Amino acid sequence: MKLKSLLVFLTAIILCVLCMQCAKKEKGDRQVLRYSAPGFVLYNTIRENAGKEFEKKHPGVKTIYEPISGQGFFEKLLTQLASGTEPDIFFMRDFELPNFVQKGSIMELNGFIENDPGFDLKDYHKILIDSYTVNNKIYGLPGSFTSGVIFYNKDILARAGMKPMNDLSWDKLLKAGQQLTIRSEMKTVKQFGIVLEYYDWITFILQNEGSFFSPDKKKCILNSPQAAEAVDFLKSLIKTHHITPSMVDLEQAEAYSLFMLNRAALFTGGRWYTTIFKEIKNFQWGIMPFFYNKKKSVRLDSHSWVISQKAKDPKLAWEFLKFLTSRDSNWKMVEVGDSVPIHRSNLRKFIKMNPENKVFVDSLDYAYTVDKIMTPYVTWREMQTILREEFDKFILDQQNSVNTLMAIDSRINEKIKANMK
């Protein structure tokens, strides 16, 4: 009896070990795909679920989503690339792309696209594909995007006897801003006419037909009467008329929160703000087109997904890339309020969701992307630092517009010469 029990016991142990070995083998045989993006709770859930859905359609594949919290996404990514530990697929911005292409860190996608008869590149907006194309080679597929619009407080406009403005020139913007700004007896601003998401010097300069670089991108030519007029006008909104918050005002409350607190009639921003504006309960808000001057121009912000040059299984990575940027995947970002549809075939449904969404779609005709006003000889971060430092001096009255633009030209051109060597 004891011998029989011992045999049963030993048999059970052997079967258990065999099962464990099988499980290990099965687990080891699974193809693993790692993908990474900046971490935000709302988006993390959507992106992680996308991986789980892909696993269901591809038995034997394990996806691992690796969100990176904070503002250090690209710094950590560069560290991973240097050590060869980067994910197979990762998040990319248009102005960061040239640096990664130059380093040879990401795959070009033309071969995948040309050899995939079921893939419809034309359904993506051309401006988005162009943003992730270098020397006619496509390196990324868009994951989400937005163009700039003006969010307006319907209640404030109604009290002022005004309607949404679909034709807002600089002159009209100034007049509307003055009419919508309310000051206390102590002359402090209780309600701003217009709050800018950030001091978008670039958009104002482009709207006034200013230029950043020579055609060959080897010289910064920002210093011009058109650019000086543009930045002087923007500064006047802040300092002279004070219908737009100053840096001191924004130390008390963030730009978007002024709108949410019922302290701003108009607010410039992208569609991602609708994810938080849904929380507004004490007033109704709407969307109207961006302002313009000599020409219409508005910034388009986007992100894409790219494949690492060292991806373990490029074909599988391509399949997952298509899945992440598919109509269904992007629509989940549209539904939560982050994105405008990256697929043309989803635009009708987007406008049906809210007729005012047509403003985002119409702006594609005059939108610009940051990569198109860059030079390959200076990184966007270097350029941003110079612009911020010099325009801060301008706002603080430490130098006038001409001297500011001259300083920017000089500093950027020094960078170009050094980097070309």
Q: Are 332 and 377 members of one domain?
A: no
Q: Are 281 and 325 members of one domain?
A: no
Q: Are 158 and 256 members of one domain?
A: yes
Given this model, what pLDDT does residue 250 score?
83
User: How far, in Å, CA of 360 to CA of 403, rounded?
Assistant: 36
Given this model, what pLDDT does residue 16 score?
39
- Asked whether residue 6 is assigned to any structural domain, the reply reads no
- Asked whether residue 9 is assigned to any structural domain, the reply reads no
Please enumerate in sequence order all residues whose Cβ is within 8 A of that of 165, keeping only pairs 6 or more positions apart, or say none.
Answer: 172, 176, 288
Q: Are 285 and 415 members of one domain?
A: yes
CATH number for the domain spanning 340: value is 3.40.190.10
Q: Are 332 and 401 members of one domain?
A: no
CB 384 within 8 A of CB 315: no
User: H-helix or E-strand containing 37?
Assistant: strand 31-38
Q: Are 405 and 348 members of one domain?
A: no
Q: Are 227 and 340 members of one domain?
A: no
- Asked whether residue 14 is assigned to any structural domain, the reply reads no
Residue labelled with tokens 């388009």: 300
Q: Are 176 and 289 members of one domain?
A: yes
Residue 302: which of 385, 370, 207 has the closest Cα?
370
- Asked whether residue 268 is assigned to any structural domain, the reply reads yes
CA 166 vs CA 158, 217, 360, 381: distances in Å: 16, 35, 13, 34
Q: Are 93 and 225 members of one domain?
A: no
User: How far, in Å, CA of 283 to CA of 278, rounded?
Assistant: 11
Q: Are 339 and 361 members of one domain?
A: yes
User: How far, in Å, CA of 400 to CA of 402, rounded?
Assistant: 6
Structural domain range at position 328: 24-146+302-369
What's the first-to-final CA gap in the chain, in angstroms? 87
Given this model, what pLDDT does residue 24 score?
38
Low-confidence ranges of the chain (pLDDT < 50): 1-27
Given this model, what pLDDT does residue 30 score?
75
Supply the DSSP string of 16-27, one letter for each residue: HHHHHHHHHHHH
- Asked whether residue 4 is assigned to any structural domain, the reply reads no
- Asked whether residue 50 is assigned to any structural domain, the reply reads yes
Number of domains in the chain: 2
Q: Are 139 and 177 members of one domain?
A: no
Given this model, what pLDDT does residue 21 score?
41
- Asked whether residue 16 is assigned to any structural domain, the reply reads no
Given this model, what pLDDT does residue 6 score?
42
- Asked whether residue 17 is assigned to any structural domain, the reply reads no
Q: Are 158 and 250 members of one domain?
A: yes
CA 391 vs CA 305, 307, 387: distances in Å: 33, 37, 6
338 exposure class (CB count in 10 Å sphere: 0-12, 13-18, 19+): buried
